[in-house]
Structure 1
Amino acid sequence: MTKFESYTESGTVILDGGMGSELEKRQIDVNNSWWSASALIQSPEDVREIHKNYFDSGADLAITDTYQAHVKSFTDQGLSEQKAYELIDSAVALAKLGLTDSNRSDGLIAGSVGPYGAYLANGAEYTGDYHLSEFEFQAFHRPRIVRLIDDGVDVLALETIPNFEEAKALGHLLQQEFPTVNAYLSFSTENGDHLWDGTRLSEAVAYFESISQIKAIGVNCTAPQNILPAIKNITPNTSKKIIVYPNAGDEYDPETKRWVSQHGPIKWDELVPLWQEAGANLIGGCCRTSPDDINDIVQATINQRH
């Protein structure tokens, strides 16, 4: 049994929260095509400290700052391929250092693999409106996946995937080339019923039941009120662990590359037990959530690890 599987078998796993919004609080400009990954160049020590803060708040798992850190993203803007790979290495190392610096004795590092839509840097992870062949999707994702594996992440985080064809290409890539690697797959959904490209969430989840490398499946970066409906569409269609990590309920503006706040306080103490009772095994936060939110999730979690 792998380390990731061991964690998921022994209790609810708590994920970390937003990275970009925590960087913004530190006056780091992430309004660019690299988004939070730009901090790997601008201020890596802040990335390390944010990881530490999440572990200190009770998170079991840190997601590396590689959501938008694709080799092509960096080389398109004039960096060398070597430098691009070094930045991915740095992202993993900073997550590991954050764990070392924290009050945690142990924890998990998940290597973030954002969708092709994130590379487009136009908000396409919230539309799924892009079309590549399976070969092209795999050619795009392979370099970052290989490097994250080489850097020793505990699990690949195939996250915020809005496009069913892209998800299938990733699943087949794992089967064909990475048979011993653990991953979780988390879809981007508008309301918990469908992926953004229109595919029914229930259909998408069911498709991956036979892909053994994917150990957990679920949704992320949707509003908290969409999580319970999503879980109800997931549970009948999988025997895998179920992962959910909502954003804070804000709306993303791809023109300004900023989030527009549309919510009051999130009642984690009410929501989290409902998600657990419905079947969620891995719970955390996504964009605009903070270490305080993760601490609240920990406090609200029934039979949490620790």
Structure 2
Amino acid sequence: KFAVLDGAFATELEALGININDPLWSALALIDKEDMIAKVHLSYLKAGADIITSSSYQATVSGFMKKNISKERAVDLIAKSVRIAKQARDSFIKTEDFLNSERAVPQVAASLGPYGAYLADGSEYRGDYKAGFDDLKSFHKERIEIISKEKPDLYALETVPVLSEALAVSELLNEMNLQTPMWISFSCCDGEHISDGTGISECGRKLDALENVAAVGINCTQPKYIESLVKNLRAVTRKAIIVYPNSGEQYDPVTKTWSGSSEEFLSSVMKWYAAGANIIGGCCRTTPADIKKIASMAAL
């Protein structure tokens, strides 16, 4: 019915006992926890993911250098994020789990977090960037140059709060003559708009005209908004639509605890598919158990 994307990365690293309370977030694990990163990738592959995403969302050369890591090592850590994911995939497809199934070989998407994720100030949920179009291109260029040498199957530009950033990265890939397809997913504030207030329909129309954008969608957004957002996108684009919302649990910043469950998320999956979603996975607080349930729905 639809392809299955993996789920949250940081949540799983924390479940393995890794503290990632840091501006680098889950990219912190690239420094000395690559075995744990591989473990998370494998858990999602076993759960049924058709696409896994590298741990490079918050990984930038300047971000690593702020940790007193040399530029050369920072470059290697970013490249390593894709290598670890590809190695996990390559080892998984030799297992009985995979060989006894009728699954296609899973794909590896290189995660490109937005400019706001590098700032680590929450602006990927507001879109109040001070950076201009060319600034956004130069920000993304360094990381894409590093990652492209590792030959991922896809690029994933994620949690994008402003349309200009999506257009900047698409233009950049063309200038770099990179043929690898990319999906672009926006962070959204309601059922009609991305984080900076631009209509999701306008975003869908603009991206529909871009050849190097294979899919467009929504991530890191409340599940209750997804059905409406997908319908708005499907009305303006023929491209694949990808959705991977947050679990739907609520975070209390005072007690620093989460409440609620992913039940609303899971009960809505088939509505998203019916509305036009072609690829479905999870973002913050979703787990391999959630992805396994989504994979079982895809197989019905």
- TM-score, normalisation: structure 2: 0.91
Which residue in the other structure is 2:102 paired with? none
Counterpart Cα distance in 2 of 1:32 and 1:269:
30
Counterpart Cα distance in 2 of 1:266 and 1:234:
25
Do 1:250 and 1:259's aligned partners in 2 also have CA atoms closer than 8 Å? Answer: no
Which residue in the other structure is 1:148 paired with? 147
Counterpart Cα distance in 2 of 1:251 and 1:115:
23
Counterpart Cα distance in 2 of 1:227 and 1:240:
17
Which residue in the other structure is 1:281 paired with? 278
Counterpart Cα distance in 2 of 1:33 and 1:179:
29
- Structure 1, unpaired ranges of 5+: 1-10
Using the TM superposition, give the Cα deviation of residue 81 of structure 1 relative to its aligned residue in structure 2, in angstroms. Answer: 1.3
Say if 2:20 is the partner of 1:30. yes
Identify which of 50, 62, 65 aligns with 1:75: 65
Which residue in the other structure is 1:218 paired with? 217
Counterpart Cα distance in 2 of 1:129 and 1:196:
9
Pair 1:78–1:111, CA change in 2 (3 A):
same
- Structure 2, unpaired ranges of 5+: 100-104
Do 1:251 and 1:259's aligned partners in 2 also have CA atoms closer than 8 Å? Answer: no
Say if 2:87 is the partner of 1:97. yes
Pair 1:269–1:126, CA change in 2 (3 A):
closer
Counterpart Cα distance in 1 of 2:24 and 2:260:
27
Counterpart Cα distance in 1 of 2:190 and 2:164:
20
Q: Secondary structure at the match of 1:261?
A: strand
Please give the per-residue CA displacement for 1:233-254, whole angstroms capped at 9, x wherever unaligned: 111111100000011124568x
User: Please, which moves more after superposition, 96-105 or 284-293?
Assistant: 96-105
RMSD: 1.9
Which residue in the other structure is 1:42 paired with? 32
User: Please, which moves more after superposition, 140-149 or 48-57?
Assistant: 140-149
Counterpart Cα distance in 2 of 1:124 and 1:260:
22
Which residue in the other structure is 2:294 paired with? 297
Which residue in the other structure is 2:197 paired with? 198
Which residue in the other structure is 2:116 paired with? 117
Do 1:161 and 1:188's aligned partners in 2 also have CA atoms closer than 8 Å? Answer: yes
Counterpart Cα distance in 2 of 1:244 and 1:205:
13
- TM-score, normalisation: structure 1: 0.90
Q: Secondary structure at the match of 1:101?
A: helix
Using the TM superposition, give the Cα deviation of residue 175 of structure 1 relative to its aligned residue in structure 2, in angstroms. Answer: 2.7
Provide the aligned length of Structure 1 versus Structure 2. Answer: 291
Do 2:111 and 2:156's aligned partners in 1 also have CA atoms closer than 8 Å? Answer: yes
Identity over aligned pairs, percent: 37
Counterpart Cα distance in 1 of 2:132 and 2:159:
19
Counterpart Cα distance in 2 of 1:142 and 1:113:
11
User: Please, which moves more after superposition, 139-148 or 177-186?
Assistant: 177-186
Using the TM superposition, give the Cα deviation of residue 263 of structure 1 relative to its aligned residue in structure 2, in angstroms. Answer: 2.5
User: Please, which moves more after superposition, 86-95 or 209-218?
Assistant: 86-95
Do 1:268 and 1:300's aligned partners in 2 also have CA atoms closer than 8 Å? Answer: no
